[in-house]
Amino acid sequence: MSSTASSQPQKPTWDAIEAAHERIAPRIHRTPVLRSGTLDAMCGAELFFKCENLQKTGSFKIRGATNAIFSLSDEEASRGIVTHSSGNHAAAVSCAAAWRGIPAWIVMPKNAPAVKCRAVEAYGGKITFCEPRVSARNEAAARIQAETGAAMIHPYDDDSIIAGQATAAKELLEETGELHALLAPVSGGGLLSGSALSAKHIQPEIRVYGCEPAKADDAYRSIETGTLQSLESSDTIADGLRASLAPRTFAILQKQLAGIFLVSEEEIVYAMALIWERLKVVTEPSSAIALAPVLKPETIQLISRDRSRPGKLKIGIILSGGNVDLRSLPFR
């Protein structure tokens, strides 16, 4: 975070985010913002849940995928697209490619949830399974790209993807007005870096936090050490949060983020049950993680202490997705 770096506007720019929003708005849902009096009382804050689990394809990923795919020239698009993903980006890319009428090749780890694989197939995506390691994903995608000439749509190390994901926080703040803090899950960092860019542009004093499984803590370690850390594999229940930051998302988060909260597996499941019981929306573990930190008094104290404006504490939470297998739920 040198002074030279901080004087440069980061990419994607606000103009790119606004253009992305205009491009995708006719194709996606403007998802509702839900509230719960019980959860507010439990936390001692007003919580505003941006429900991207109610988004088309069941996650925010359709925002970035639609922006990226509809930003391609006709010639680029004609050769199709290729990507790798543990699930939600895969479904989103398959869906957006179908909207554009082009083929989509999808590399998925072989331990991806069956429900997410079925979604890809339902949208017409062609799946290639690989070992559940980041390196294996990249290799398989590069091979398909070389064979087909398809355009690579990286799940997060891509300005047009980040600009698309940034539109969820933009919509949230347009609806709620000023918030003291915004929490979102972090895996590769596309949603979190996009959310941070939007939120800090609209409201520079807002504190943006990432929420990460303690069992897949590469983003936390990257921010702490100032050096991009990798994560070769993880078995966290938050199956969507098993990727690592990329140079692009790391650079944005280093500059924009207030911090990262690490969350245990038990805390993820507890937050998930609360969201299902209280908000009545189906959220996957990777998504429910963003509620877990504010259930702890020390988080509320931290946000309260750091806030620049007085009044009742207002916190935005991005519920990123809702794709779960109903036949293997973690509730006991």
Binding-site ranges for a copy of itself (CB under 8 A): 29, 32, 34-35, 37-38, 53-54, 56, 58, 115, 122, 273, 276-277, 279-283, 322, 326-327, 329, 331-332
Query: Under 8 Å CB-to-CB from 112, ≥6 apart: which residues?
Result: 86, 87, 90, 239
Name the residue with tokens 């078995």: 235
Q: In the complex, what is the shortest distance from the CB of residue 156 to a copy of itself, in angstroms, rounded to a whole number?
A: 23
Min dist CB 275 to a copy of itself, Å, is 9
Nearest to 236 by CA among 261, 262, 257, 259: 262
Distance CA 313, CA 291 (A): 15
Cβ closest to a copy of itself, residue 244 vs residue 323:
323
- Taking the complex as a whole, the smallest distance from the CB of residue 37 to a copy of itself amounts, in Å, to 7
- Tell me the closest approach of the beta carbon of residue 322 to a copy of itself, in angstroms: 4
Smallest distance from a copy of itself to CB 65, Å: 15
- The nearer residue to a copy of itself, 273 or 295, going by C-beta atoms, is 273
In order of 2, 58, 192, 208, 277, the CA distances from 171 in angstroms are 31, 17, 15, 16, 25
Nearer to a copy of itself, 38 or 301 (CB): 38
Contact between 195 and 55 under an 8 Å Cβ cutoff? The reply is no
- CB of 273 vs a copy of itself, minimal distance in Å: 6
Instruction: State the CB neighbour count (10 A cutoff) for residue 324.
Output: 24
Q: Which residue, 9 or 124, has its beta carbon nearer to a copy of itself? A: 124
CB of 276 to a copy of itself, least distance (A): 5
Which is nearer to a copy of itself, 209 or 270 (by Cβ)? 270
Contact 88, 57 (CB under 8 A): yes
Q: Which amino acid is at 64?
A: G
Nearer to a copy of itself, 35 or 79 (CB): 35
Q: Work out how close the CB of 298 gets to a copy of itself at its nearest, in angstroms, rounded to a whole number.
A: 25
Closer CB to a copy of itself, 56 or 200, in the complex: 56
Full 3-state SS string of 52-85? HHHCHHHECHHHHHHHHHHHCCHHHHHCCEEEEC
Rounded distance, CA 130 to CA 138, Å? 10
Q: What gap in Å lies between CA 180 and CA 82, rounded to an integer?
A: 39
The set of residues, in sequence order, having a beta carbon less than 8 Å from that of 13 and lying 6+ positions away, is: none
Nearer residue to a copy of itself within complex by CB, 23 or 56:
56
Q: How far is the CB of 160 from a copy of itself (least distance, A)?
A: 24
Dihedral sign (CA 109, 110, 113, 117):
positive
At residue 103, the 3 state secondary structure works out as coil
**Exposure string over 44-66, b if 16+ CB within 10 A, otherwise e:** ebbbbbbbbbbbbbbbbbbbbbb
Given the complex with a copy of itself, which of 27 and 143 has the nearer CB atom?
27
